Amino acid sequence: MRYHAPASFEDASRIAASATGVTRFLAGGTDVLVQLRAGMVIPDDLIDLKKIPGVSDIVKNGDGGWTIGVAVPGIRLGADSALVADWPGVVEGMELVGSTQVQGRATLTGNLCNGSPAADSVPGLVAAGATVSVTGPEGSRTIPVEEIPTGPGKTSLKPGEVATAINLPPRGEHGGDAYLRFIPRTEMDIAVVGCAVNLKLDGDTITEARVVLGAVAPTVVLVPEAAAAIVGTTLDDAALAALDAAARAACNPISDKRGTVEFRIDVAGVLARRAARIAYDRAKGAKA
Ligand SMILES: Cc1cc2nc3c(=O)[nH]c(=O)nc-3n(C[C@H](O)[C@H](O)[C@H](O)COP(=O)(O)OP(=O)(O)OC[C@H]3O[C@@H](n4cnc5c(N)ncnc54)[C@H](O)[C@@H]3O)c2cc1C
């Protein structure tokens, strides 16, 4: 195995583009190193991104949006009170990843690029409308987070492409988001279902929403029908029932040891209701 520690994303991309065997980028390593030690994936080229300037930075931009470096661990997100105030749902998704030890290393970017349909931070990012900056042999581009995962363990990143940052839009006024997951244990488990809701209010009325489900399909699912069920409402009982139905209808899960198809579909509706309620209350000023 060849270990590389490039000083720029361009160099990281060049190394990855010219590699012919199995290549992995090393962010926190909580997926890569576990797979390596278990002998599941032994990279020929391991490209450590942590020596690249800026990768550990959390930056609030002039327009109110956020740029989060690809090596920022979950624990730093939770410690940033301004970020938590703007995007509590994004942060709580990442904070559910693993244990205190895992939190000290695991990153949003690694969680996304690992390609797990159950990745806990991804629904919140998609609900927020986050984008990913990418550099590759053909230059740089910015893509919506939902376009990165294409199936279990798979992404749309082309050979030689490396994610360079996660971008969150400006929070703006009267908005709130939330992420909930169901796991059989109280912690350290993989989501059976996850749901993120992000919404904006005008007075008591929802004017915009994004509803995203995790672990109920090969990738996270953005559900416009679920958003449509609550936009224009005050999240009354009828709206919550319509949201529940739309979330259930969007599910295409598998049965496994954590839950059956039927159970996952039921839980998706329940979590959508609960996450929407929390997001709504946060948009009204409730603190995370
Ligand atoms: C004990 C334990 C518990 C866990 N619990 C959870 C959990 O509850 N929920 C959950 O979602 N996950 C969980 N995980 C999985 C893991 O911690 C997360 O997926 C984590 O966010 C991965 O981030 P990382 O920085 O460690 O990624 P890494 O292991 O460094 O990388 C992961 C993947 O992303 C790719 N990658 C990394 N950076 C880039 C980049 N900049 N550009 C392109 N590709 C890149 C790598 O090539 C690799 O394929 C757990 C893991 C462990 C070991």
Among 247, 168, 246, residue whose Cα is nearest residue 215: 247
Cβ atoms within 10 Å of 277's Cβ, excluding its own: 16
Average pLDDT over residues 23-51: 97
Q: What percent of the chain has pLDDT over 70?
A: 100
Quick count: other Cβ atoms within 10 Å of Cβ 230? 27
What's the pLDDT score for residue 27?
98
Q: Residues 61-80: pLDDT tens digits? A: 999 999 999 999 999 999 99
Place of tokens 């949003």: 108
Q: Which two tokens stand for residue 245?
A: 């139905």
Query: Dmax over Cα atoms in the chain, in whole Å?
Result: 58
The predicted pLDDT at position 13 comes to 98
Computed from CA positions of residues 109, 77, 278, 64, in that sequence, does the dihedral angle turn out positive or negative? negative
CB 206 within 8 A of CB 280: yes
φ, ψ dihedrals at 30, nearest 5°: -75, -15
Kindly give the pairing relationship between strand 66-69 and strand 162-168. Answer: antiparallel
Smallest Cα–Cα separation from 23: which of 117, 165, 159? 159
Which comes out higher in pLDDT, residue 279 or 188? 279
Decide: 97 and 111 in contact? Cβ < 8 Å: yes
Phi first, then psi: what are they for 147, rounded to 5°?
-90, -5
For the CA of 122, the nearest atom of ligand 1: 11
Q: Is the CB of 110 under 6 A from ligand 1?
A: yes
Mean pLDDT of the chain: 97
Residue linked to tokens 């997100």? 77
Model confidence over 147-202: pLDDT tens digits? 999 999 999 999 999 999 999 999 999 999 999 999 988 878 899 999 999 999 99
Q: Report the pLDDT averaged over residues 88-100.
A: 96
Would the CB of 264 count as within 6 Å of ligand 1? no
What does the pLDDT read at residue 92? Answer: 97
Pick from 111, 125, 187 the residue to mutate for probing ligand 1's pocket: most ligand atoms within 8 Å of its CB.
Answer: 111
Residue 185's pLDDT is: 84
Residue-wise pLDDT tens digits, 104-136 = 999 999 999 999 999 999 999 999 999 999 999
Nearest alpha carbon, ligand 1 atom 17: 30
pLDDT at 107: 98
pLDDT tens digit sequence for 211-261: 999 999 999 999 999 999 999 999 999 999 999 999 999 999 999 988 999
